[in-house]
A and B are shown apart, each in its own frame.
Chain A
Amino acid sequence: MTYTRIILTIAGMIGAMACARAAPLDEPIQPVPLTLKQDPARAEIGRLLFQDARLSANGRVSCASCHDARKGGSDGRARSSGFNGGLTDVNAPTVLNAALNFRQFWNGRADTLEAQIDLVVQNPVEMGSAWADVVQKVQQDAKYKSAFGAAYKDGVTKANIQNAIATFERTLITPNARFDKFLRGDVNAISAAEKIGYAKFKQYGCVACHQGVNVGGNMFQKFGVMGDYFAKRGNPTQADLGRYLVTGLDSDRHVFKVPSLRNVALTAPYFHDASAKTLEDAVAIMFKYQIGRVASQEDRDAIVSFLNTLTGEVEATP
């Protein structure tokens, strides 16, 4: 009896060591890298610019106004208010792990973070600025001017401002979520219930779209593949057309970027129209319109508990 226990303990230790050393499991979901290695000087400029309201036309809103790292990289509102109090068309997506998304915005109209910043600064509802003014305002600030001079060959320019903010945003990744620790081999990082939740997540096919490092954020999908979500919800808006607004193709009607589920517990409300106030609501809507299946309350709760393990650590504090 005693021998058996010792042998088992040794075997367990060896196993744990093996697991700790092993590459991440070949799972559809991959852990967030610990860092994306950015130029610290540029990231620091970006951090300041991110909180700087001078980027907006009247100096009322900054990037951080709608993308607060303490609120999961979003603002917790259904729709955000811009520099003049106007409401945005869609719910603000989180800035956390945005660097890991293959495109930016709900409809993926920006290929890069730089392009996303470009569009937001000039957006007539969001910041309403002209780049010439932004560049001038930044240039007039001696602190920025010297920092840019040190970090960039050509000093303060539109492209460098965008690059600095994007560089900062690339530091806003959230590694070390409990689930990532599990993926890296720490089998005890998540509870048994959460493991069941992950199994259900895969079994029901959620993982068909929510996969990869960002648990989503690497493909487009039609909202309502297995049922007409918009007919059921009513009040169709322009923004509901999704990617159609970008490509003009009929096949892209109601197609959106599959959002990342990283830190999803922190980013309520959910969907582009913020129609789901809770994670449970969101999971239910997904089952109905995307999976096309009926899941028990138990299974859905398990999936929600799994989703809660995707909350990572934010290092930088914008």
Chain B
Amino acid sequence: MSTSNRLTWLSMVTATTALVAVLVFLYAKTQRYEESDYFENVASLRHLKQLDAQWELDVLKSRIGINAHYDRLAGSLTDLSALLERFESETGQQRHDDSARLAVAGATLRNAIEGKAVLIERFKSNNSVLRNSLAFLPTAAEDVQQLLRRAEEAAPRAAVSRRVSTTVNDLLLACMLYSQSASDERGAEIQRALALLASDQAMLSQEVQDRLEIFRAHAGAIVREQPAVNTLLGDIAAMPTATRIDEVNGAVIAEQQRASAQNQRYREYLLAFSAVLIGLLMYAAIRVVRSHAVINRVNQELQGANENLERRVQERTRELRQAQSELVTTARQAGMAEVATNVLHNVGNVLNSVNVSAGLIASHLRASKIQGLTRAVQLMNEHADDVGTFLATDPKGKMLPGYLGQLAQVLVTEQQGVIEELLALTKSVDHIKEVIATQQAHAGASSQVEPAQVCDLMEDALRMNASALQRRGVVVQREFACVPELPLDKARLLQILLNLISNAGQATDGAPDREPRLMLRVGLVEERSLRIDVIDNGVGIAPENLTRVFAHGFTTKKDGHGFGLHSAAIAAQEMGGTLTAHSDGPGTGARFTLELPVKTTEDMP
């Protein structure tokens, strides 16, 4: 991927991330404070307020004795605390911008409720005592009065008794009134009466004293508890729980208003953002449509170009095929030419011998003594009527029998020379036949494997090259190991040997400074393969050409066509063997080695 490509990707990813971030931010902002949370909070607060009012109402009911027990007061506190706790935990979980304010308002409310609870606890304690004493006071007064009356009957003119009786009555009345309206004056009055009773008490009998003590204790309790209860009631009523609830409510509402305003604002932002996004989408869509058109056009162009290209490729392919078939034809022709050349070359070599033999026979016949015989016969014909005389008397006739004897001797000699030459001629003709048969084998005729003596083949090859080698004065050395008859494709092997020997002979032309020498070696390697070396001391081969010499068309000769070694190597391969070249460099001679796998005659089918 190129740098600019990567940069494009990077910027696109960045842009996408930024857009998503903005979207999430705006969405989160509109979700800050849920309406359902708000309604839940308001409902909780209303419930709180209702419970608080109920609580206060229960206090008043307990005060005037409508509530027979305090379970409801205790229960209200439990309910209030639970509700407040739930409210606090809920608001704690909700998302608030100004949660601190809400928490402070909540804590203040909790304090108020706890303060109120303390006051109510005290009220419960004081109220029970007060109610008991108020209920019992008339009975206690009556108890005292009864005892006093009995005491007066027993002992009249007891002024103390009468005064105490009056005071008890006054005190009872005062206490009853005090319970209705606890003024300080009446309180003081009660205290005075209590003090009076205390001072008079000592003058009464023990029994009366005990009863009076109880009466005084309860009156004291009333005067003690009544203001306490009143104060507590006042304090309870003054306890600003309702106000605190309203404050919390206010905080919640303010929060809700702010949140809804913010919601509105961010909703607008969201809308604007959506518009931007739609714009971007439209732009992108236009771009896509445009790109699509461009792509289509380019695609069509590409298709056209492709078709053109295909056509041209097809043309080229056709041309190439043609060229190849031409090449093949050429090669075949070249091969055939090579075959012809080879045939001609080899046949030409043998034809030399044929020529020589024919020339010799001709010269023998030209120089024949047969005319001497003709003249002798003519001489005899001149003296046909007296042959005997002529032979006996005539000087010439006397010499004739001797002459004829000599002539017969010469003619026999002549005939023998001609016969010899004719034999050589026949042999040469046989060679020509053999050469042609070899070429036929090379030309694809099926290989014919038959037992043969390698050394004989070697000698044949040498003979076939004999005239060329003699002309160059090449000294041939033989190192033939004792090799048994082996199953060989004689024709192919002979072709290879002919080629190698002919090449070796030609190679010596390039090194006229030394006596041309050819070494032929035949041997078996580990009884498994036949190895034939043809070694010359000619021009040698440059190292770079060591393998190329076998390539088709490679030649270093002026009139060469690079076919000989190539076909030799192929023939070696066809026989399952190898043909390799070795040379230490130009001018150092060369060694060609043919190795063939050995199948002994026994292996033959």
Contacts and interface: CB of A to CB of B under 8 A. Distances in A.
B71 to A, nearest CB: 4
A113 to B, nearest CB: 12
B573 to A, nearest CB: 86
B410 to A, nearest CB: 144
A209 interface: yes
Nearest to A247: B118
A205 B132 contact: yes
Given A209-B128, A220-B124, A292 B71 contact: no
Nearest to A111: B81
Contact of A226 (B69, B122, B131, B217): B217
Interface string A225-267: 1110000000000000000000100010001000000000000
A291 B122 CA distance: 18
Contacts of A26: 68
A28 B68 contact: yes
A41 B140 CA distance: 56
Given A208-B129, A208-B131, A226-B221, A251 B71 contact: no
A227 B221 CA distance: 11
A144 interface: no
Range of interface residues on chain A?
20 to 34
A176 interface: no
Contact of A29 (B69, B81, B217, B221): B69
Interface string B46-78: 000000000000000000000011110110011
B281 interface: no
B125 interface: yes
B69 A292 contact: no
B214 interface: yes
Given A220-B121, A226-B217, A292-B217, A213 B128 contact: no
A280 to B, nearest CB: 21
A211 B74 contact: no
B431 interface: no
Nearest to B140: A293
B136 interface: yes
B218 interface: yes
Interface string A287-298: 000011110000
A218 B76 CA distance: 12
Contacts of A251: 122
B135 interface: yes
Contacts of A208: 128-129, 131-132
B70 A293 contact: no
A146 B74 CA distance: 37
B47 to A, nearest CB: 20
Range of interface residues on chain B?
20 to 34
A30 interface: yes
A251 B135 CA distance: 24
A221 interface: yes
A212 interface: yes
Given A28-B68, A205-B132, A211-B70, A293 B214 contact: yes
B128 A212 contact: no
Contacts of A53: none
A255 to B, nearest CB: 7
B129 A225 contact: yes
B128 A30 contact: no
A222 interface: yes
A294 B214 contact: yes
Contact of B74 (A219, A222, A291): A219
A219 B123 CA distance: 10
A100 to B, nearest CB: 9
A102 interface: yes
Given A102-B78, A208-B131, A292-B218, A218 B125 contact: no
Contacts of A29: 69
A218 B70 contact: yes
A247 B119 CA distance: 13
A292 B125 contact: no
Nearest to A25: B68
Contact of A219 (B118, B124, B132): B124
B136 A219 contact: no
A1 to B, nearest CB: 42
A27 interface: yes
A76 B81 CA distance: 35
Given A209-B128, A291-B132, A293-B214, A102 B77 contact: yes
A27 B71 CA distance: 12
Given A27-B68, A102-B78, A211-B68, A219 B221 contact: no
A60 B73 CA distance: 40
Contacts of A292: 132-133, 136, 214, 217-218, 221
A220 B69 contact: no
A222 B217 contact: no
Contacts of B210: 294
Interface in A49-98: none
Contacts of B70: 211-212, 218-219
A212 B221 contact: no
Contacts of B69: 28-30, 211-212, 218
A291 B131 CA distance: 11
Given A102-B78, A226-B221, A221 B128 contact: yes
A226 to B, nearest CB: 6
Contacts of A213: 71
Interface string A199-210: 000000100110
Contacts of B118: 247
B425 to A, nearest CB: 123
B128 A102 contact: no
B135 to A, nearest CB: 6
A224 B173 CA distance: 26
A27 B121 CA distance: 21
A26 B61 CA distance: 14
B140 to A, nearest CB: 8
20 contacts: A28-B69, A29-B69, A30-B69, A205-B135, A208-B132, A209-B128, A211-B70, A212-B71, A212-B74, A218-B69, A218-B70, A219-B74, A219-B121, A222-B125, A225-B129, A226-B221, A247-B118, A251-B122, A292-B133, A292-B217
* Top 10 A-B pairs, shortest CB-CB distance: A205-B132, A211-B69, A208-B128, A102-B74, A212-B71, A28-B68, A212-B69, A219-B124, A218-B74, A28-B69
Interface of A: 26-30, 102, 111, 205, 208-209, 211-213, 218-222, 225-227, 247, 251, 255, 291-294
Given A102-B77, A205-B132, A219-B73, 11 more contacts: A27-B68, A28-B68, A28-B69, A205-B136, A208-B131, A212-B71, A220-B125, A221-B129, A226-B218, A247-B118, A292-B214
